[in-house]
């Protein structure tokens, strides 16, 4: 009977999906790349609202004078905490590329020249 409970508990834990909101981490204005990240514990599946992530990245790009942000590549997963061969915490990074030049960029450059 105990093994049945252990199997049920393991099944429930492995299918645990958590909503994650990525936060800005390392970004580069010169390269026009915004990186958003979040932590992921073992036995968790992350569900990221792509609209909110895209909006956060676009907001950062617009502050730099670009028009919008577009997803770039696949999520980068790195293990930040290990115990033996088991990863206890993963850092997931989403990359976005800033594209287009908005009027703010032209106005900012013009003000520097004058």
For the chain, 114 residues long, give each residue's pLDDT as a single digit of tens.
Answer: 677 565 655 555 555 778 888 999 988 888 999 999 999 888 788 888 899 999 999 999 999 999 999 998 999 999 988 888 888 889 999 999 999 886 655 555 555 555
Residue 110 lies in a domain: no
Q: What is the pLDDT of residue 7?
A: 61
Q: State the chain's maximal CA–CA distance in angstroms.
A: 80
Host domain of residue 68: 18-102
> Distance between CA 111 and CA 114 in Å, rounded?
5
- For the chain, the residue count is 114
User: The dihedral of CA 10, 15, 21, 24: what is its sign?
Assistant: positive
> Distance between CA 98 and CA 84 in Å, rounded?
39
Backbone Cα Rg of the chain: 20
Q: In this structure, what token pair is assigned to residue 114?
A: 């004058």
- Please count the structural domains in the chain: 1
Residue 93 lies in a domain: yes
Residue 112 lies in a domain: no
Residue 35 lies in a domain: yes
pTM equals 0.72
Q: What is the pLDDT of residue 61?
A: 94
Residue 23 lies in a domain: yes
How does DSSP classify residue 64? T
Residue 12 lies in a domain: no
Residue 5 lies in a domain: no
Smallest CA-to-CA distance from 72 within 18, 113, 25, 34 is with: 34
Residue 6 lies in a domain: no
């Amino acid at each position: 009977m105990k093994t049945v409970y252990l199997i049920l508990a393991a099944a429930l834990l492995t299918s645990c999906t958590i909503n994650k909101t990525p936060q800005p981490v390392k970004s580069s204005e010169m390269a026009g790349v915004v990186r958003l990240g979040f932590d992921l514990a073992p036995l968790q599946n992350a569900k990221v609202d792509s609209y909110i992530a895209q909006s956060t990245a676009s907001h950062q790009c617009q502050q730099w004078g670009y028009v919008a942000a577009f997803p770039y590549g696949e999520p980068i997963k790195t293990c930040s905490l290990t115990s033996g061969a088991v990863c206890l915490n993963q850092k997931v990074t989403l990359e976005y590329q800033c594209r287009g030049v908005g009027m703010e960029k032209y106005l900012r450059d013009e003000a520097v020249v004058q």
